[in-house]
Amino acid sequence: MSRDPDYKRMIHSARWQKLRRDIISASPLCERCRAEGYVTAATEVHHRIPVEQGFNRMEKKRLMFDPHNLVALCRACHVKTHTEMGRSGKDATRKRNSEHVQAVIRRFYGSDTSDEPPGGVFLNGEGVPVNLTRTP
Ligand SMILES: [Zn+2]
């Protein structure tokens, strides 16, 4: 499902296999079906915030193993959820990346960004260089 190498490594780990079993035994019915009034056995565990949205390995690990980020679903609901997330998920990743760049800029120049920014070239969330130098 994901091509992220950290995700791939973690999804095959013993820690994940065990957590996945624990989540499904704690919540044996698909939560999405249950919300719609159906009773379906949960067979898969879904990450509410996709693991690959983590910026570094530590954040990915947190998203991967945080029980609050997990929900037990049936196969059909898992597929449906990912289809719905497709477009909006990509936008969310882009937005987070751009917020990350803003945070780096703030950290670099101090907290006050309301003044005219000093010159410099930065990469935006999509890796495109942004020149902060103002042209007169
Ligand atoms: Zn379901």
Separation of 35 CA from ligand 1 center, angstroms? 9
pLDDT value of residue 123: 62
Contact 29, 40 (CB under 8 A): yes
In a domain, 44, yes or no: yes
Separation of 113 CA from ligand 1 center, angstroms? 46
pLDDT value of residue 95: 73
Separation of 15 CA from ligand 1 center, angstroms? 25
- The average pLDDT across 87-98 equals 68
pLDDT classification of 133: cutoffs 50, 70, 90: low
In a domain, 134, yes or no: no
* Number of structural domains found in the chain: 1
In a domain, 131, yes or no: no
In a domain, 47, yes or no: yes
What mean pLDDT value characterizes the chain? 84
Range of the domain at 54: 5-110
In a domain, 133, yes or no: no
The CB-based long-range contact list for 61-68 (8 Å cut-off, 24+ gap) reads 61/6, 61/10, 64/7, 64/10, 64/11, 64/16, 65/10, 65/15, 65/16, 65/19, 67/19, 67/23
pLDDT classification of 126: cutoffs 50, 70, 90: low
pLDDT value of residue 8: 94
Full DSSP string of 51-99: GGG-SSHHHHHHHHH-GGGEEEE-HHHHHHHHHHHHHHHHHHHHHHHHH
Name the range with the highest mean pLDDT among 62-66, 84-88, 104-108. Answer: 62-66
In a domain, 103, yes or no: yes
In a domain, 136, yes or no: no
Per-residue pLDDT tens for 30-83? Answer: 999 999 999 999 999 999 999 999 999 999 999 999 999 999 999 999 999 999
Separation of 130 CA from ligand 1 center, angstroms? 44
Per-residue pLDDT tens for 2-23? Answer: 678 999 999 999 999 999 999 9
Give ion ligand 1 contacts, CB < 5 A.
30, 32-33, 40, 74, 77
In a domain, 54, yes or no: yes
